[in-house]
A and B are shown apart, each in its own frame.
Chain A
Amino acid sequence: MESLVRLSFYCFAAATIAFVASAACYLAYAIGRVRLRRRTMATSVGTTMVAHEASLEPAAVGVGRFATLLAWFGVVFQATSILLRTVAAGRLPLSNMYEFSTTFVLLAGVVYLLFERWYGVRQLGAIVLPLIVAMCAYIWVLPAELREVNALIPALQNRPLMTVHVSMAILAYATFAVAFAAAVLFLIANRWHVAWLPSPDLLDDLGYRAVTIGFPAMSLVLILGSVWAYRAWGTYWQWDPKETAALFTWLIYGVYLHTRSLRGWRGSRSAVILLVAFGAVVFTYFGNYVFGGLHAYGGV
Chain B
Amino acid sequence: MVVDRIWRFFCSVRAAIAEITILAILVLAGTLRGSSVPQAIADIFPVTTPIINRWYAWDVFRSLPFAAILTLLAVAIAVCTINRAPGIWQAIAHPSVTTTHGFLRNAEISVLFVASMPADALAKQLESAMRGNRYRTLSEERNGEIHLYADRSRFSRLATFPFHLALIMILAGGIVGAAWGFRENEFYIPEGSVRELGHGTGLDVRLNDFSEVYREDGTALAYRSDVTLMRNGEPIQSGSMTVNNPLTVGDIVFYQSGFGQAVALRVEDSAGQVLFDDALPLGPFQSKLNPDAPAARMDFLPAGVALSVIAPDENPANAPELDTLHLRPGEMFFMIRPLGANSPITQPIGATVRQGESVQLGDLSLSFVRERRFSVLQVARNPGIPLFIAASVLLVGGLAITFYFPHRRVRGIVSTTQDGSVARLAPIARRDWSAKRVFEQLASDVGRRSGIDPELHVNEPASPTTGSGQRSAPSP
Which positions in A face B, CB cutoff 8 Å?
Answer: 150-151, 153-155, 157-158, 186, 190, 199-202, 204-206, 208-209, 212-213, 215-216, 219-220, 223, 226-227, 230-237, 239-241, 244-245, 247-248, 251-252, 254-255, 257-268, 287, 290-293
Contacts and interface: CB of A to CB of B under 8 A. Distances in A.
12 contacts: A157-B222, A202-B433, A205-B473, A220-B396, A235-B382, A236-B388, A251-B23, A258-B13, A259-B17, A263-B469, A267-B467, A287-B35
Interface of B: 13-14, 16-17, 20-21, 23-24, 27-28, 30-32, 34-37, 40, 61, 174, 183, 215, 219-223, 242-246, 253, 255-257, 378-380, 382, 385, 388, 392, 395-396, 399-400, 403-404, 431-434, 461, 463-469, 471, 473-476
B429 to A, nearest CB: 10
Contacts of B221: 151, 153-154
Contacts of B471: 260-261
A258 B431 contact: no
B473 A158 contact: no
B87 to A, nearest CB: 13
Given A247-B27, A255-B17, A257-B475, 8 more contacts: A151-B221, A158-B244, A199-B433, A204-B433, A216-B399, A251-B20, A251-B27, A258-B13
A216 B396 contact: yes
A255 B380 contact: no
Contacts of A208: 473
B390 to A, nearest CB: 12
Contact of A201 (B223, B464, B476): B464
Contacts of A233: 255, 257, 378
A248 B183 CA distance: 26
A258 B20 contact: yes
A211 B57 CA distance: 36
Contacts of A247: 27
B34 A240 contact: yes
Contacts of B36: 290, 292
Contact of B21 (A150, A151, A157, A255): A255
A255 B24 contact: yes
Contacts of A199: 433
B13 A261 contact: yes
A168 to B, nearest CB: 11
Contact of B30 (A226, A230, A239): A239
A123 to B, nearest CB: 15
A153 B219 contact: yes
Given A234-B253, A260-B473, A190 B20 contact: no
Contacts of B222: 154, 157
